[in-house]
Structure 1
């Protein structure tokens, strides 16, 4: 089944974040439609995965503290992603030894957020 490769500028969103942002791909010399293609390790907080504005996750210690001060009213706080590697990627297509990042992959934040690919600015069809 074909997949779509993620590259620089692809929009990602967090289930607890306020705003979607573009992924910042670490260039490795492989391009998809003239833009750097991403591998599953392009998940470094504030380098590849930027802030999503405000975080609403009750698992985020800053949100939990602000919510407690507001007597239980959920109080969003600035997002600082605590991301893990993207999964699963496309294991049949490797980029510097790692699966290439595809549009179906997810990334998880330590605060409970699920980061997904919202909209790709440029993708390439790849056979499996």
Structure 2
């Protein structure tokens, strides 16, 4: 069984240089000591904070900086772009009528990065 993810969870991106954090707004109205996340807590800069520097060549800022440096990879500041919700979530446990977010879920960044949960923010509640 996986761990239920709540606000303050630590995230990592496959192209990011530093960990990020999941911020869950209290609109779901389900809390432990922090609000509990569902799969729709995927909004960039609201729910998912930046991951330091981005090194994905699919990111236009990285591509242009790399071209300006004559092909030497030049990471640029991360601005996550996540259009799709977290997947797969926990379909049997609902938070605000959406599947709860568990620690095995992933979120895709439009620049090719895979965002995953490193620390779920709590360790006492398990979900399938």
Using structure 1 for the length normalisation, give the TM-score.
0.93
Q: Contact 1:5–1:102 at 8 Å: present in 2 too?
A: yes
Q: Is the partner of 2:64 in helix, strand or coil? A: helix
Unaligned segments of structure 1, at least 5 residues: none
Unaligned segments of structure 2, at least 5 residues: none
Q: After TM superposition, which residue ranges in structure 1, 4 or more long, deviate above 2 angstroms?
A: 123-128
Partner Cα distance (1:97, 1:123) in 2 = 23
Matched, 1:36 2:41: no
Please report how far the alpha carbon of residue 92 of structure 1 lies from its aligned counterpart in structure 2 after TM superposition.
Answer: 0.3
What is the match of residue 88 of structure 1? 88
Please report how far the alpha carbon of residue 127 of structure 1 lies from its aligned counterpart in structure 2 after TM superposition.
Answer: 4.9
Q: Is the partner of 1:92 in helix, strand or coil? A: strand
Using structure 2 for the length normalisation, give the TM-score.
0.93
Partner Cα distance (2:97, 2:121) in 1 = 25
What is the match of residue 78 of structure 1? 77
Question: How many pairs are equivalent?
Answer: 126
